[in-house]
Amino acid sequence: MKPAEAYILNQPEPYRSILLHVQAVIELTVPEIKLLYKYKIPFYYYKNKPFVYLNVSQKRQYVDVAFMKGYNLTLHQNELIGEGRTLVKSLRYKSLEEIDQAVLVELLLAQIILVKN
């Protein structure tokens, strides 16, 4: 098993279910993406460029779906969280039910355009 997959599968619930769902959405939306294990977390790369990473904060009890260059995204800024980060903005999920798949897909598609430029 690859380290990124082990990271996801070894998480306790509800984080594991959230991560698996987000992983499926990412990989269906952007089929040419690569899942790597960087900085001790699952990190997606698109055409060899950092794209999105997944991180679990058990202390704060959420899954962070972080978009590289997230500050340049124009869609759904009201749902993206920056918290003092200079490049990254993220969606945060505490439960599977909180995931708005349409928002996630729209941001992934917008992220492709940002990473290409």
Q: Is the pLDDT confidence value at 25 over 90?
A: yes
Average pLDDT score over residue span 60-73: 96
Looking at the DSSP assignment, which residues form a beta bridge with residue 36?
43
- The predicted structure's pLDDT at residue 1: 86
Q: In the predicted model, what is the mean pLDDT of residues 66-76?
A: 94
Q: Mean pLDDT across the stretch 56-72?
A: 95
Residue 101 has pLDDT above 80, yes or no: yes
The CA distance from 71 to 69, in Å, is 5
Q: What is the mean pLDDT of residues 65-90?
A: 94
Mean per-residue pLDDT, 72-91? 94
Structure tokens at 20: 């698996």
Identify the pLDDT of residue 113.
93
Read off φ and ψ for residue 107, nearest 5 degrees.
-70, -40
Query: What type of residue is 35?
Result: L
Beta strand ranges found along 34-84 (DSSP E): 34-38, 41-46, 49-57, 62-67
- Tell me how far apart the alpha carbons of residues 88 and 81 are, in angstroms, rounded to a whole number: 8
pLDDT tier for residue 79 given thresholds of 50, 70 and 90 = very high
* Nearest Cα to Cα of residue 51 among 73, 64, 33: 33
- At residue 22, the pLDDT reads 99
Enclosing domain of residue 112: 3-116
Model pTM above 0.85: yes
The interaxial angle of helices 101-116 and 15-29, nearest 10 deg, is 50
Cα–Cα distance for residue pair 24/108, rounded to 1 Å: 12
Q: Which of 21-25, 78-82, 83-87 has the lowest mean pLDDT?
A: 83-87
Query: Residue 116 pLDDT more than 90?
Result: no
- Give 76's DSSP letter: T
CATH number, domain with residue 8: 3.90.1150.200
Structural domains of the chain, count:
1
